Structure 1
Amino acid sequence: MNVVVTGGGRGFGRTIAQRFAEQGATVVVTARDLSAAQRTRDLVPGALALRCDLTDPVSVRGCAARTGELLGHVDVLVNNGAAFLAESQVDDDAIVRTILSGTAGTVLMTESFLPLLRRSERPDVVTLVSLEAESRSDPAHIAHAAFHAAKAGQGRYAEIMSQRLRPEGIRMIALYPPDFDNSDDAARDGVLTARSVADCVLFAVNQPRDCFIRSFHFEPMPR
């Protein structure tokens, strides 16, 4: 299995890269900061590291082209990279970066990697959305409304593309978790962890090809 993970320099991106590698996959870790991707690469056996700026179409296309040269095809694309924006961090540039990395970045990655996915016998696109994309999200959440909007765009894109790509056998799988413990080795003590979310991804992509799991909708953590 050949897997590409965006935002792979830390947190959930690093965890999902490690979990796929444990299953024997060849993982391409991407990040806007190449050194961050390389740090994950050094922890994941057989992994490769590439720079990919989700706000820059040229960078995304270059990442896809280089991945094609290295691997020939991609079986799983994990759209994990997206900028977070808190109310306290807001300025015009941050708003634009949040929308571009979240919504536009997911669209650009998926569109650019579709030719490589179409060469696979088991193509899946996984998008880490968020509970904050849904109407039941917490209105008191620290995220700026632009982050909610970016995540909602990701989710809607995944829904539309699931319908359009299903005839080709390409599965679009979206996850809507609440905030979870994103540290690399968090213990499972009743709090949703990156490893638990990653295991949902592994469950979905390892299902038979006639099983189309469009989305995972998690319950929010009780206050």
Structure 2
Amino acid sequence: MPLEHHRVVITAAGRDFGRTLALRFASRGAEVHLSARTLEAATRVRDEILSQGHDADRVHAYACDLTDPASVREFAAAVAARTDHIDVLLNNGSRYQHGTDLLSASDEDVVDTLASGATGTVLATKAFLPLLLQSAKPDIVTMVSGCGEAGHHRSDAHDAFYAAKSAQAGFTEILSRRLRDRGVRVISLYPPDFDNHDPLSESWEGAPRTAKDPLTAQSLVDCVFFAIGQPRDCFIKSFHFEQV
């Protein structure tokens, strides 16, 4: 699916799956607006994309701390200064906190985990909604997690991460209902832990995958491309995955 006519915002694009999303959307021709907690991290991914021959006018880097409302507003304002609309908002930002013992995380870790994943997702969506409503094909995609599914208990993530993901799940559920009449599709992904190798590496692209292998980032990106590529009367609300 070519994306030359899509303008895409990706949060937490400085590393890991955010970087994967940035690389894959740019490889399909999309204009990408990348944020990371530091400008240096976002710029590093921007430079990586540009090194592959992409137009500098279609790859933009920003700093955005999702735990800071002013930073989120500044990010949205900076994007709005470059374009009158965006077509896809990818809510990827969420701090991971490891540990099955509630007491293992400091109060500061708990606050930051909840703020980046839960509050940050709400703030980013709120800040970019005006630009999305100017698009003829607006989609909001949120990387939730299996930890956001009711009854999920297989992850070694901290309770605060479970709380953040459950909040994201509740937010996207009601948002999907309330924005449908305005033509905005709200798509949520609930993956288990997955393999996040470089999606453009030849060795990974050529490696066969079987039912016994862990989910890959490539498969998740393909789900995103599939959902946003559907006709506008097709609202795919969520993707849930079996675990190995």
**TM-score band, normalised by shorter chain:** over 0.9
Tell me the amino acid that sits aligned with residue 197 of structure 2.
S
Among 46, 63, 73, the alignment partner of 1:61 is 73
- Whole-angstrom CA distance in 2 between matches of 1:56 and 1:133: 23
SS of the residue 1:43 aligns to: helix
- Whole-angstrom CA distance in 2 between matches of 1:198 and 1:62: 27
Tell me the amino acid that sits aligned with residue 58 of structure 1.
A
**1:147 has 2:152 as partner:** no
Aligned to 1:21: 26
**1:80 has 2:92 as partner:** yes
Aligned to 1:105: 120
- Whole-angstrom CA distance in 2 between matches of 1:43 and 1:100: 29
**1:125 has 2:148 as partner:** no
Q: CA deviation at 1:135?
A: 2.7
Q: How many residues align?
A: 220
Q: CA deviation at 1:80?
A: 0.2
Aligned to 2:3: none
Q: CA deviation at 1:136?
A: 4.0
SS of the residue 1:70 aligns to: coil
**1:51 has 2:66 as partner:** no
- Whole-angstrom CA distance in 2 between matches of 1:27 and 1:39: 14
Is 1:55–1:100's contact at 8 Å kept on the other side of the alignment? yes
In our comparison, the structure showing a higher alpha carbon Rg is: 2
Deviations 1:123-154 (A, max 9, x none): 00000000011134235x32110100100100
Percent of residue pairs identical:
51
Q: Unpaired segments of 5 or more residues in structure 2?
A: 1-5
Let me know the Cα RMSD of the aligned residues: 1.4
Is 1:11–1:194's contact at 8 Å kept on the other side of the alignment? no
SS of the residue 1:127 aligns to: strand
Q: Unpaired segments of 5 or more residues in structure 1?
A: none
Among 165, 172, 193, the alignment partner of 2:186 is 172
Among 135, 148, 151, the alignment partner of 2:150 is 135
Among 7, 18, 26, the alignment partner of 1:2 is 7
Aligned to 2:106: 91
Tell me the amino acid that sits aligned with residue 93 of structure 1.
E
- Worse overlay, 16-25 or 182-191: 182-191
- Whole-angstrom CA distance in 2 between matches of 1:203 and 1:42: 27
Aligned to 2:228: 205
- Whole-angstrom CA distance in 2 between matches of 1:80 and 1:182: 14
- Whole-angstrom CA distance in 1 between matches of 2:108 and 2:45: 28
TM-score under structure 1 length normalisation: 0.95
TM-score under structure 2 length normalisation: 0.87
